[in-house]
Structure 1
Amino acid sequence: TQVRRAATSVPANIAEGYGRESRASYQQFLRIAQGSLKELETHLLIAQRVGIASHETIESLMARSESVGTLLRLLIRKLSPE
């Protein structure tokens, strides 16, 4: 349940920030989404260590998470004032 909560928190924070119609608020919620993504990664690693999920499954999910993290960082940079 913690993995699901963290995973759904990422897009929810992105959407909430976008809905605020303020660049600064959007960036802040994107940063919160990054934190949720790191929380998700932590839960995935713990699941692997305690034997709930296989290495292959976690490796695939971590790769996807890293891709999302890269996109979030790029979007935050793009929204930053020059």
Structure 2
Amino acid sequence: MSFKFEKLTIWQDSMNYGEKIFNTSSIFPKEETFNLTSQIRRASDSIALNISEGSILQSNSEFKKFLGYSVRSLAEVVTCLYKAKHRNYIDENLFKEFYDESYKLMNSIIAFRNKLI
């Protein structure tokens, strides 16, 4: 027995992505705990949360709306990553790694969304 969303690759990928963001944000300075650290963690968690929420007892049009929220949260994470890079909390290589993964995840979510009727 499982929930519908557990079988979705986009949910699985967003769960892994969120954990990577969480672990990486632990290196941010203490003074960012209630600012950038909290923001990037909430935004990255929101990606998977919206996928799961939208998949349960929703019409496809409602599910599409929640997938849109996931993409917006992903854009928020990318902006936080830019902030982290500009503040020298992460280096260019780590930024690029996350940026590429973000772009791939965004395209996967959008492709899945476009396939819903």
Q: TM-score range by the shorter chain?
A: over 0.9
CA RMSD of aligned residues (A): 0.9
Aligned equivalents of 2:93 and 2:39: distance in 1?
20
TM-score normalized with structure 2 length: 0.66
Q: What is the Cα deviation at residue 52 of structure 1? A: 1.1
Q: Which of 96, 100, 108 lines up with 1:63 in the alignment?
A: 100
Q: Which of 11, 24, 28 lines up with 2:65 in the alignment?
A: 28
Q: Deviations over 1:33-81 (max 9, x none)?
A: 01000000000011001111111111101111111000011011101x4
Larger radius of gyration: 2
Aligned equivalents of 1:25 and 1:74: distance in 2?
16
- Name the % identity: 26
Match of 1:75 in 2: 112
Q: What is the Cα deviation at residue 20 of structure 1? A: 3.0
Unaligned runs of 5+ in 1: none
TM-score normalized with structure 1 length: 0.92
Q: Which of 42, 53, 73 lines up with 2:79 in the alignment?
A: 42
